[in-house]
Copies of this chain bind each other. A is one copy, B any other.
Amino acid sequence: MSINKDAHGGNVYNAGSQYNLDINEILDYSANINPLGVPQTLQQAIINNFDLLTHYPDPDYMNARRSLANWHGIEKSNIIMGNGATEIIFLLMEVFKPRKILIPCPSFSEYEQAAITAGCKVEHYRIKEEEDFIINVQDLINNIHKEIEMLILCNPNNPTSQIIKKDKMKEILSFCRENGITVVIDEAFIDFTDEQLHLSMVDQLEIYPNLFIIKALTKFFAIPGLRLGYGIAGERFIKRMEHKKQPWTLNNFASMAAEILPHDVEYIRVSSQWIKEEGVRFFQLLSKIEGIKVFKPSSNFILIKLLDPHLTSGILCDKMMGNGILIRNAENFTFLDKQYIRIAIKDGRSNDIFIQRLKQTLMEGKQHELYT
């Protein structure tokens, strides 16, 4: 495996050392993390429970799984805990070793890396820019042929920030169930979507035994440094994976977080409010900027296309970093190129700074013909 060290964004550590900035001085628009920061409830629980660290983790993570099961209205036997979603993704490929995987792209690169590491073949389905990167579900189904044993869908998808609606997802799941194909749905960003849409497929577990859902609390609760992911599936799936899993991969603060965070209704409420309001406002401001095409987001990040052929994503990222703003150069996503960047939606104040610096950078470039 050759690790894509930028899979989650532009690597704030590299950027910091390259531009001689402390990581706290950087406005990080490359990682899609809730700007509300680490929940106070979790901070207080850590302070009150340092002694937890003196014990090895519970190898069965009973309390964490019970809490998440209650939250999702499922059984704890439907849950496997992971050291970030990464562990679940790699374990999934290693255990099931599907011969061929279909991944609609552009999408999160870790699935492909994990598949290749496990010796699986990968086929890409092209999500069309001319359809604003919204997956045409019937066309996708038409492209699932009999060699495909697993389909990967990120919902919302990264980096496009587009969703597949529930009824459409059911069509895919039904087709795949009838054809013996496992469908992996990555819902890592689903808590940022409009709750009216009820996108999550967790309530469909009994109807679709071919369904495997990957979750993470780390984006919505702003704790990617704590490492906390999990998989949801039928008991048979989970048991096969448990059997191959390394023990004690989740640290005790992460498993405690799984117990606490689903109950932090205030943090959830404020965050939902923020993404609803600031997401719309930021998108509208961005849409008014000349020289870029902004794809309307359904999550907490936005895909942008640079329309000036002389301006590459690499140049723009470099210029923005010179102004202390780290953005995600999206050129290495399959089917994207040097015209694409991805940015997070942050708090209003940061977003205003972002807008101002982006405008300035685009303007200066034009004036000085720096783009060539």
Contacts and interface: CB of A to CB of B under 8 A. Distances in A.
Number of copies: 2
Given A86-B247, A249-B83, A55 B224 contact: yes
Given A86-B246, A90-B246, A243-B2, A8 B53 contact: no
B1 A225 contact: no
A57 B90 CA distance: 18
Interface in A1-55: 1-3, 5, 7-9, 11-13, 23-24, 28, 31, 33, 37-38, 43, 46-47, 50-55
Contact residues of A: prevailing secondary structure = loop
Interface string A167-192: 00000000000000000000000000
Given A2-B243, A227-B248, 16 more contacts: A3-B59, A7-B247, A13-B59, A13-B60, A13-B62, A33-B54, A38-B51, A38-B54, A46-B50, A47-B47, A53-B223, A53-B226, A57-B227, A117-B244, A251-B253, A253-B253
28 contacts: A1-B244, A3-B245, A5-B60, A5-B247, A11-B58, A12-B55, A13-B58, A13-B62, A24-B51, A28-B55, A37-B51, A37-B54, A53-B225, A54-B223, A54-B224, A56-B224, A57-B227, A83-B83, A83-B249, A86-B247, A86-B249, A87-B249, A90-B246, A226-B253, A227-B250, A249-B249, A251-B253, A253-B253
